[in-house]
């Protein structure tokens, strides 16, 4: 009835980043969820590749706080698969992982069955596991692309600033040379205001005495 991708925040709360839901059930898109039952132990299990399949939240051996959360979300059965990332650059920056962890728990791919209990078939579990791997790769590629794009923009801005600075220095040097070549005070002043107006591309430059 509902499939979503849940992205973790540094404090292990999370936001529903994307969602596909049947019209019979409420949307949770954009919702920030604080699961009081989720802790470092839970995170470590998911980092190790745990897939969590619940057939019925009312008969499963789960914490009351987790059952209450799922009831609020209209969930009767769910299938939860971790979205893991492994590249070192994100690992170095992530606040969600200890320094000795090899995998980053980016988020969760979750299927909700709302209308009734559901026995999740092995083929369904395997499918979601495979999809989570592909999603993780796509996310990693997207984030790396964004990083490269940002660096390229910064490089272009720095290059443009250097060009502008070099042009300003060239113009100032040229103006200074022409001013020094003048011998008469009036000629020096006229040359100064003319060169400055052209440099600034403004309508009037004057010397007030």
Three-state DSSP class for 71? helix
Residue 13 placed within a domain: yes
Residue 189 placed within a domain: no
Name the residue range of residue 99's domain. 2-120
- State mean pLDDT over 63-91: 86
112 and 144 in contact (C-beta within 8 Å)?
Answer: no
- State mean pLDDT over 33-62: 93
Residue 199 placed within a domain: no
Write down the pLDDT at residue 117. Answer: 97
Q: Read out DSSP for 120-181?
A: --HHHHHHHHHHHHHHHHHHHHHHHHHHHHHHHHHHHHHHHHHHHHHHHHHHHHHHHHHHHT
| Burial class of 51 by CB neighbour count within 10 A (0 to 12, 13 to 18, 19+) | middle
Residue 81 placed within a domain: yes
Residue 27 placed within a domain: yes
In 3D, which of 179, 14, 59, 100 has the Cα closest to residue 5? 14
Residue 208 placed within a domain: no
83 C-beta neighbours (distance < 10 Å), count: 21
Residue 36 has pLDDT above 80, yes or no: yes
Residue 108 placed within a domain: yes
Residue 155 placed within a domain: no
- Strand 32-33: give its sheet, edge to edge: 32-33, 14-21, 2-8, 104-113, 77-85, 52-54
Q: What is the pLDDT of residues 44-55, one digit of tens each?
A: 999 999 999 999
C-alpha to C-alpha distance for 111 and 128, rounded to whole angstroms: 9
74 confidence band (pLDDT: 50, 70, 90): very high
100 C-beta neighbours (distance < 10 Å), count: 5
CATH number at residue 23: 3.30.450.40
Count structural domains, the chain.
1
26 C-beta neighbours (distance < 10 Å), count: 12
Q: Read out DSSP for 187-204?
A: HHHHHHHHHHHHHHT-S-
In 3D, which of 17, 22, 23, 21 has the Cα closest to residue 5? 17
Q: What is the pLDDT of residues 98-153, one digit of tens each?
A: 444 568 999 999 999 999 999 999 999 999 999 999 999 998 888 889 889 999 99
């Amino acid at each position: 009835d509902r499939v979503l991708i849940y992205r973790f925040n540094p404090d292990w709360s999370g936001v529903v980043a994307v969602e596909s839901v049947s019209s019979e059930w409420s949307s949770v898109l954009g919702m920030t969820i604080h699961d009081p039952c989720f802790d470092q132990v839970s995170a470590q299990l998911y980092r190790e590749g745990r897939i969590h399949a619940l057939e019925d939240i009312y008969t499963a051996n789960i914490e009351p706080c987790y059952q209450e959360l799922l009831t609020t979300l209209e969930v009767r059965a769910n299938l939860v698969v971790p979205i893991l990332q492994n590249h070192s650059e994100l690992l170095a920056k992530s606040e969600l992982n200890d320094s000795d962890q090899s995998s980053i728990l980016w988020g969760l791919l979750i299927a909700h069955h709302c209308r009734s209990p559901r026995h999740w078939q092995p083929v369904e579990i395997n499918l979601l596991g495979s999809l989570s791997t592909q999603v993780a790769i796509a996310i990693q590629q997207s984030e790396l692309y964004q990083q490269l794009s940002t660096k390229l923009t910064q490089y272009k801005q720095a290059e443009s600033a250097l060009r502008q600075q070099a042009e300003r220095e060239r113009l100032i040097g040229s103006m200074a040379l022409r001013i020094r070549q003048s011998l008469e005070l009036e000629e020096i002043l006229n040359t100064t205001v003319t060169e400055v107006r052209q440099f600034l591309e403004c309508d009037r430059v004057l010397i007030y005495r």
